[in-house]
Structure 1
Amino acid sequence: MTPPLGDIAHLGHVELLTPDLDRSLEFCTDYLGLTVDGERGDSVYLRTWDDYEHHSLVLTAHETSGVRRTALRASSEEALQRRVKELEAAGHAGRWTEDEPGIGKLYVTADPDGHEHALYWETEWYRAPDDLKPGLKNQPQAKPGRGVGVRRLDHVNFLAADVAANADFQQHVLGARPTEQIRMDDGRISAKWLSFTDKSYDVVYTEDWTGSRGRLHHVAFATDTREDILRAADLALDTGVFIETGPHKHAIQQTFFLYVYEPGGNRVELCNPLTRLVLAPDWPLTTWTEAERAKGQAWGLKTIESFPTHGTPPTA
């Protein structure tokens, strides 16, 4: 049975692995404008200024790059238990743990490709210290005066050996809605965008051309305006951050984007998708053909060679 839309409230946070924690942390604080909200062992917990929870991103020192955990907040304790029951019935049994600050018990499982997912309900609402208190009481934290000043964690794009199987997991086990996809001439689905909210997408699966499993394509942070994306490109130029492609506009989902690499090797997208919402409960799935995808981005920019091949951890 397809679970009801709403058992998963939203994307909570993502854990990135990095072989160079100090430089990755500098990128996150000085370039992205994230705020450190604690450390534990080899991990540093960071937050955007408009996310309401303890952390939006976890950076963990590791021998290589990639994504370890993607955390999804349930809409209630009852919703969490329903999803756990469905996960176990669908063959995705996991384990309970309490291993993150500011978060209660998490149910840790994995999608068919092996990407770790953690579901939780209990969470600590962020209380800004005096030096970070906002001027408006309905805002969690003052806007940072450094870097891009990203507003919130927006989405995560996984590389997958089988896009369709992983998208089915998100849709039929967790309750996401598919909004757009790419169907190749041979019929296979090479990418799919899904949403838990009224945003047009929260998670994405893109075909891994190497045939590997469990890799990351990118993690994305949203900005207030398109102009922030242009400023992010100038800041990258001034500070030596590697720009892979953009600024430009995607045809699929119409997101205004800039892709950069953080020092650990992970791809990070700066995006402005705030103008596009999926409000219709019967929103039709948009399918793009191989020929349409080959045209490139919305205004004609061709997709660069590294976009479908670069992922983390790197392959041989």
Structure 2
Amino acid sequence: MAPPLGDIAHLGHVQLFTPDLDASVAFFTDYLGLTVNGRDGDTVRLRTFDDYEHYSLVLTARERPGLGRLALRTSSEEALHRRVRAIEEAGGSGRWTEDEPGLGKLYVTTDPDGHEHALYWESEHYRAPDELKPALKNQPQAKPGRGVGVRRLDHVNFLAADVLANAEFQQRVLGARPTEQIRLDNGRIAARWLTYTHKSYDVVYTEDWTGSNGRLHHIAFATDTREDILRAADLAIDTGVFIETGPHKHAIQQTFFLYVYEPGGNRVELCNPLTRLMLAPDWPLITWTEAERAKGQAWGLHTIASFHTHGTPPADTDTDGVPRGNAAG
């Protein structure tokens, strides 16, 4: 039986690897409007203005782009240890570490595809310095006066060789709830969206057409309004940020979106899903067929080919060069 919803409180932060650390930092600060809140050698930590913890994003210099760690805060110390027991009782393994500033002990494990997850409870709340203090005391930091000004880290879309195995890890071990999925005509699950909370989704698994393990499709930041996404598109063309696709509206989850590449090569989504909440405790899993997905987005241009093929790090080999599924946002 799946554990009750709520042991995982929310996404804490995500780590990206980048071969061009300075350019990636400039992208996230100047274009998206994040604030640098710590540097340690080849690692820079940044935060969105509405994040109550110290950082939302960790950038680390590496030769190739890709995903490092997804950190998940639990709802209590007891919830943390329940999830650790569940991981180990399911045959998984992990290690305890204290390598993140502002956080207590983290239990580091991986999903079946090899994506690193870190679970933790203890966390210091951010206190803005005088120059970043907001006028409203219920907001951690003043809104930035630069770039898009994204509000928070919204979700992570993992590429996976086996979507169902990874989704079931999230459901049975971490307590996520599935909200939507794509089932191909042959019965295979090509993508599944899951939530830890009442948001419509926090993590997504999308089938990796190359058959590779441990790759990233994209990370996403939420904006206040759809107009922020339109402004982001204008800022992108003014500043040389590469737009892959959008603005459009997804049929799945109804997200209004823009996809861009940061200088290191990782795909970043700007999204506005803030009006959709899964409040029903018995929300039915919505299944989209292969024919329905072939219709494309809810509206907007046809899905660009790179959306189905680009992932980080780049795949060493394409096993057969033929797409085997339907990637999704």
* Residue identity opposite 1:231 in structure 2: R
CA distance in 2 between partners of 1:99 and 1:235 (Å): 36
Contact 2:247 2:300 in 1 (8 A): no
Output one character per residue of 1:189-246: Cα deviation in whole Å (capped at 9) or x when no partner.
0000000011000000000000000000000000000000000000000000000000
Equivalent in the alignment of 1:128: 128
Aligned letter for 1:209?
Answer: W
Find the counterpart in structure 2 of residue 172 from structure 1.
Answer: 172
- Mapping of residues 254-293 of structure 1, within 5 Å: 254-293=254-293
Q: Secondary structure at the match of 2:251?
A: coil
Question: CA shift at 1:300, angstroms?
Answer: 5.0
Distance in structure 2 (CA, Å) of the matches to 1:120 and 1:148: 30
Q: Helix, strand or coil: the match of 2:26?
A: helix
| Partner Cα separation in structure 2 for residue 136 and residue 62 of structure 1 | 39
Q: After superposition, what is the alpha-carbon deviation per residue over 1:132-154, rounded to whole angstroms, capped at 9, x for unaligned?
A: 00000000000000000000000
Per the alignment, residue 113 of structure 1 pairs with 113
TM-score normalised by L of structure 2: 0.95
What amino acid is the match of 1:280? A
Aligned to 2:322: none
The alpha carbon displacement at 1:159 in A equals 0.1
* Distance in structure 2 (CA, Å) of the matches to 1:82 and 1:16: 28
Q: Distance in 1 between the 2:86 and 2:20 partners? A: 38
Aligned-residue sequence identity (percent) comes to: 83
Distance in 2, matches of 1:301 and 1:178, equals 28
* Corresponding position: 1:60 with 2:82: no
Unaligned runs of 5+ in 1: none
The one-letter code of the counterpart of 1:34 is L
Give the count of matched residue pairs.
316
Rounded to whole Å, the distance in 1 between the matches of 2:70 and 2:228 is: 26
Counterpart for residue 197 of structure 2: 197
Where does 1:130-169 land on structure 2 (aligned, <5 Å)? 130-169=130-169
8 A contact 2:229–2:247 mirrored in 1: yes
One-letter amino acid of the structure 2 residue matched with residue 122 of structure 1: E
Between the aligned partners of 1:303 and 1:289, the Cα distance in structure 2 is 17
Q: Deviations over 1:27-86 (max 9, x none)?
A: 000001000010112110000000100100000000100001000000000000000000
Contact 2:21 2:60 survives alignment (8 Å): yes
Aligned counterparts of 1:189 and 1:23: Cα–Cα separation in 2: 37
Q: Which residue of 1 aligns with 2:22?
A: 22
RMSD: 0.6
1:2 — aligned with what?
2
The one-letter amino acid paired with 2:172 is H
Distance 1:268 1:119 in 2: 23
- Alignment match, 2:246: 246
Q: What residue in structure 2 maps to residue 301 of structure 1?
A: 301
Residue 37 of structure 2 aligns with an amino acid whose one-letter code is D
CA drift of 1:302 comes to 1.5
* Cα offsets for 1:148-195 (capped at 9, x unmatched): 000000000000000000000000100000000000000000000000
**Amino acid paired to 2:200:** S
Which amino acid in structure 2 is aligned with residue 100 of structure 1? E
Partner of 2:13: 13
Distance in 2 separating the partners of 1:202 and 1:247: 21
The answer as to whether partners of 2:249 and 2:300 remain within 8 angstroms in 1 is no
Indicate the residue corresponding to 2:319 in structure 1: none
Is the partner of 2:263 in helix, strand or coil? coil
Alignment correspondent of 2:187:
187
Q: Match of 1:308, SS?
A: helix
What letter is aligned with 1:116?
Answer: E
Give 1:226's aligned residue: 226
Aligned position for 1:74: 74
Gaps of 5+ in 2: 317-329
**2:44 alignment counterpart:** 44
Secondary structure of 1:307 counterpart: helix
Q: CA deviation at 1:115?
A: 0.1
